């Protein structure tokens, strides 16, 4: 059957010659080796997916711990640690391993993240040589379990306002940790309820009666399985999902730890009780410490993309097999994926998943460069933090949306626990709010744009943001905003001169890029102007912020959409000619145009899209869906998700 661009829809199935292993090689990239190791391990431990349903909560927690320790023994979970302590010295590989692990049970994934990412990452990045020597060797093997005790019942997003106190006692040369009230108890802390022997505790440091802000301390929680005196631990109990992870609450009642328990890479307290830090500004110091969180956000973003891949693989294979209703007389019932609507439901999501995959490649590379010391510019670090925050938000929302759409696209069969949707839905739900609430993260990303990453304070606090913008940046931003320059550049690249947005071909990637770049610049200038107007009116900062908050979020989304589009376009351009490039080119068009279509109201409102062209984009998206449809199964197969973790043979068909 021909696949030429005809006006009739492609009914039936035809597979152009994509070589699936070649496409997998493009997707796996430089980390093919570690990804293969993780795939092998996923198959070896695929039984955990059944155990998640079959075991009670206590038994399942123990099983997850066992699996995590077994994975550690293969080296896959230690890639980010120094080789001297049993690690792999490759942070990029550690993220790639985590992304691939997210094809399997997500309790295992999150336990790995808690132990090696959060707990291990804090020891590694906030501690110094003696902490590394004391903890890393046994931490990397999983023998020494720990937790990352930052969030409190009263404060999740606003970490600077944490209530736990660590007071330095020069007499005994100890810190005394106290939970002053219920709101200050540590909460939702993974590994706390059962397995953590140690905790990295974030607390307000007080030295000589003076508050020095939030710092991190290594605090023993258990010895020989018993909770230590002064520590009170409560189980958070059953959660919506991730019940293989033992989350808990921790209270400290005058718990004493030695002076060396302070993770002292960025600040120390002398035996006599003098506070010292190379970073003078307390805000900058705080956000430098918090910068270690970026790894967690990059990890969760990657996991979100993987979750979307699992859901789409099941739904696409099902839609390629399941028949329902006759389409034409005497042809029998029609395969779901040959329906225009079903293509519209699944294929733009598939294209966006590819886009996010390549955007994740970029942020993982930047993380690797910054944390491997190849790139040590503070601006680069802040740009990374902003990008990681933005991609994490959009990737995890995408995952939630994809899981839902795919479940519905599999009907009643999708509701049975024997396939992956039940677990994906309950387990990945929290991705949108952990490692930073998505809305708060988008505000962080937007702030980077307003300040051009020049601010010393990577402050999550909108009051700080408004203050900063008040004092300095609005004029700069408005001036810097390069909508004007952008349009000049666009004129050189696209046909039509000033009418490029009417003349350029819809499938010209320069056109697609110009649209998303224009939107971002325009929103940035508009937001800066709005803030300035509020300030000039002498409105209270809170009122100003409340008024512009939706514009802040819209700007951040536009910014991240631009980054994602650029990542995909760049990737396609860099590929050698051939079927893989052609297929990804089609997908990239489908992604870019369906994203413009989704926000076409904005483009019309801002004079960049005529009514006729807006309708033409919708028609083109339909046409692209029909062209991508014959490739769909190859495109999901290329993600290389082991059949053993897909489960649901009734849905996806026999293993080939």
Is the distance from CB of 399 to CB of 307 less than 8 angstroms? yes
In whole angstroms, how close is the CB of 502 to a copy of itself at the nearest point? 15
**Touching a copy of itself, residues 436-465 (CB under 8 A):** 437-439, 460-463
In whole angstroms, how close is the CB of 257 to a copy of itself at the nearest point? 26
The residue to which tokens 């402050």 are assigned: 459
Q: How far is CA 223 from CA 72, 228, 234, 597, in A?
A: 22, 7, 17, 58
Distance of CA 504 to the CA centre of its chain: 34
* SS3 state at 99: helix
DSSP result, 48-92: HHHHHHHS-HHHHHHHHHHHHHHHHHTTTT-TTS-GGGT--S-HH
In whole angstroms, how close is the CB of 414 to a copy of itself at the nearest point? 8
Closest CA to 297 of 367, 230, 356, 371: 367
Among 172, 208, 415, 493, binds a copy of itself (CB under 8 A): 415
Site size for a copy of itself, by CB under 8 A? Answer: 84
DSSP result, 178-220: E--SGGGSEEEETTTTTT-SEEEEEEEEEETTEEEEEEEEEEE
Among 541, 630, 640, 642, binds a copy of itself (CB under 8 A): 541
In whole angstroms, how close is the CB of 344 to a copy of itself at the nearest point? 6
CB closer to a copy of itself, 73 vs 417: 417
Q: In this structure, what is the dihedral angle of CA atoms 268, 269, 274, 279, given to the nearest 10 degrees?
A: 20
| Exposure string for 417-455, b = 16+ CB within 10 A, e = fewer | eebbbbbbbbbbbbbbbbbbebbbbbbbbbbbbbbebeb
**Touching a copy of itself, residues 47-86 (CB under 8 A):** 53
Is the distance from CB of 278 to CB of 409 less than 8 angstroms? no
Among 58, 543, 573, 649, binds a copy of itself (CB under 8 A): 543
The radius of gyration of the chain from alpha carbons, rounded to an integer in Å, stands at: 26
The reply to whether 529 sits near a copy of itself by the rule CB under 8 A is no
**Touching a copy of itself, residues 329-368 (CB under 8 A):** 329, 331, 333-334, 338-341, 344
The reply to whether 417 sits near a copy of itself by the rule CB under 8 A is yes
Q: Can you give the length of the chain in residues?
A: 656
The reply to whether 156 sits near a copy of itself by the rule CB under 8 A is yes
Q: Please name the residues in contact with 57: beta carbons below 8 A apart, sequence gap of 6 or more.
A: 238, 243
Taking CB under 8 A as the binding criterion, the range among 17-25, 152-160, 199-207, 373-381 that sits at the site for a copy of itself is: 152-160
The reply to whether 20 sits near a copy of itself by the rule CB under 8 A is no
Among 16, 21, 411, 495, binds a copy of itself (CB under 8 A): 411
The reply to whether 601 sits near a copy of itself by the rule CB under 8 A is yes
Q: Which of 152, 174, 435, 620 is catalytic?
A: 435
In whole angstroms, how close is the CB of 409 to a copy of itself at the nearest point? 9
Among 421, 518, 568, 591, binds a copy of itself (CB under 8 A): 421
In whole angstroms, how close is the CB of 161 to a copy of itself at the nearest point? 7
Q: How far apart are alpha carbons 592 and 563 in whole angstroms?
A: 12
What mask, x for binding a copy of itself by CB under 8 A, covers residues 205 to 244? -------------------------------xxxxxx---
**Touching a copy of itself, residues 181-210 (CB under 8 A):** 187-188
In whole angstroms, how close is the CB of 35 to a copy of itself at the nearest point? 29
Q: How far apart are alpha carbons 510 and 514 in whole angstroms?
A: 6
In whole angstroms, how close is the CB of 622 to a copy of itself at the nearest point? 7
* SS3 state at 230: coil
Taking CB under 8 A as the binding criterion, the range among 96-104, 141-149, 324-332, 504-512 that sits at the site for a copy of itself is: 324-332
Among 292, 400, 481, 512, binds a copy of itself (CB under 8 A): 400
Taking CB under 8 A as the binding criterion, the range among 33-41, 500-508, 541-549, 568-576 that sits at the site for a copy of itself is: 541-549
Among 172, 372, 376, 546, binds a copy of itself (CB under 8 A): 546
Q: Among this protein's residues, is 174 annotated catalytic?
A: no
Tokens of 197: 């022997």
Among 600, 608, 627, 647, binds a copy of itself (CB under 8 A): 600
**Touching a copy of itself, residues 245-284 (CB under 8 A):** none
In whole angstroms, how close is the CB of 11 to a copy of itself at the nearest point? 6
* SS3 state at 294: helix
**Touching a copy of itself, residues 478-517 (CB under 8 A):** none
User: Which burial class, exposed, middle or buried, applies to 25 when counting CB atoms under 10 A from its CB (0-12, 13-18, 19+)?
Assistant: middle
Is the distance from CB of 146 to CB of 115 less than 8 angstroms? yes
Q: How far is CA 64 from CA 36, 109, 424, 577, in A?
A: 21, 9, 16, 45
Active site members:
435
């Amino acid at each position: 059957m021909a696949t030429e661009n005809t006006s009739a829809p492609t009914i039936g199935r035809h597979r152009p010659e994509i070589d699936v292993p070649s496409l997998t090689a493009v997707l796996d990239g430089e980390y093919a080796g570690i990804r293969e190791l993780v795939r092998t391990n996923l198959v070896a431990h695929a039984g955990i997916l059944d155990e998640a349903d079959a075991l009670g909560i206590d038994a399942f927690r123990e099983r997850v711990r066992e699996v995590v320790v077994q994975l550690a023994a293969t080296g896959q979970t230690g890639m980010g640690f120094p080789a001297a302590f049993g690690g792999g010295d490759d942070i990029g590989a550690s993220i790639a391993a985590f992304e691939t692990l997210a094809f399997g049970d997500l309790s295992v994934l999150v336990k790995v993240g808690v132990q090696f990412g959060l707990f291990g990452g804090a020891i590694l990045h906030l501690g110094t040589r003696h902490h590394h020597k004391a903890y890393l060797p046994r931490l990397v093997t999983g023998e020494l379990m720990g937790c990352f005790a930052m969030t409190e019942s009263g404060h999740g997003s606003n970490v600077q306002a944490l209530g736990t106190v660590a007071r330095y006692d020069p007499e005994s040369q100890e810190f005394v940790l106290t939970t002053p009230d219920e709101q200050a108890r540590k909460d939702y802390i993974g590994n706390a309820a059962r397995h953590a022997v140690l905790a990295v505790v974030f607390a307000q440091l007080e030295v000589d009666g003076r508050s020095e802000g939030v710092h991190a301390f290594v605090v023993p929680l258990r010895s020989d399985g018993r909770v230590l005196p002064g520590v009170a631990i409560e189980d958070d109990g059953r959660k919506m999902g991730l019940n293989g992870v033992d989350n808990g609450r921790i209270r400290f009642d005058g718990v004493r730890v030695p002076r060396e328990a302070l993770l002292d890479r960025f600040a120390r307290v002398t035996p006599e009780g003098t506070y010292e830090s190379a970073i003078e500004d307390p805000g900058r110091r705080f956000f430098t410490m918090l910068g270690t969180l970026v790894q967690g956000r990059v990890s969760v973003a990657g996991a979100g993309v993987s979750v979307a891949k699992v859901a789409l693989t099941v739904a696409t294979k099902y839609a390629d097999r399941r028949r329902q209703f006759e389409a034409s007389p005497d042809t029998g019932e029609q395969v779901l994926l040959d329906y225009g609507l079903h293509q519209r439901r699944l294929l733009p999501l598939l294209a966006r998943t590819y886009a996010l995959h390549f955007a994740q490649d970029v942020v993982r590379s930047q993380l690797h460069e910054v944390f491997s010391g190849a790139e040590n510019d503070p601006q680069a670090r802040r740009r990374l933090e902003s990008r990681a925050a933005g991609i994490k938000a959009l990737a995890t929302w995408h995952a939630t949306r994809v899981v839902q759409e795919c479940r519905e696209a599999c009907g009643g069969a999708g509701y049975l626990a024997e396939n992956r949707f039940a677990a994906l839905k309950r387990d990945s739900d929290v991705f949108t709010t952990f490692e930073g609430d998505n809305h708060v993260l988008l505000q962080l990303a937007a702030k980077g744009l307003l300040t051009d990453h020049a601010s010393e304070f990577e402050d999550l606090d909108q009051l700080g943001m408004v203050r900063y913008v008040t004092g300095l940046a609005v004029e700069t931003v408005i001036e810097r905003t390069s909508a004007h320059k952008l349009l000049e550049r666009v004129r050189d690249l696209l046909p039509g001169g000033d009418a490029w947005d009417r003349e350029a071909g819809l499938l010209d990637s320069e056109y697609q890029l110009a649209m998303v770049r224009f939107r971002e610049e325009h929103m940035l200038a508009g937001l800066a102007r709005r803030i300035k107007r509020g300030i000039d009116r002498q409105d209270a900062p809170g009122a100003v912020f409340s008024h512009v908050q939706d514009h802040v979020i819209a700007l951040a989304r536009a910014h991240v959409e631009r980054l994602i589009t650029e990542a995909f376009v760049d990737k396609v351009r860099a590929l050698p000619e051939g079927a893989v490039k052609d297929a990804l080119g089609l997908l990239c068009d489908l992604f870019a145009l369906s994203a413009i279509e989704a926000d076409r109201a904005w483009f019309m409102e801002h004079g960049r899209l005529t009514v006729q062209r807006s309708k033409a984009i919708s028609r083109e998206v339909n046409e692209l869906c029909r062209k991508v449809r014959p490739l769909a199964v190859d495109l999901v197969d290329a993600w290389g998700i082991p059949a053993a973790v897909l489960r649901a043979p009734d849905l996806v068909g026999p293993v080939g």
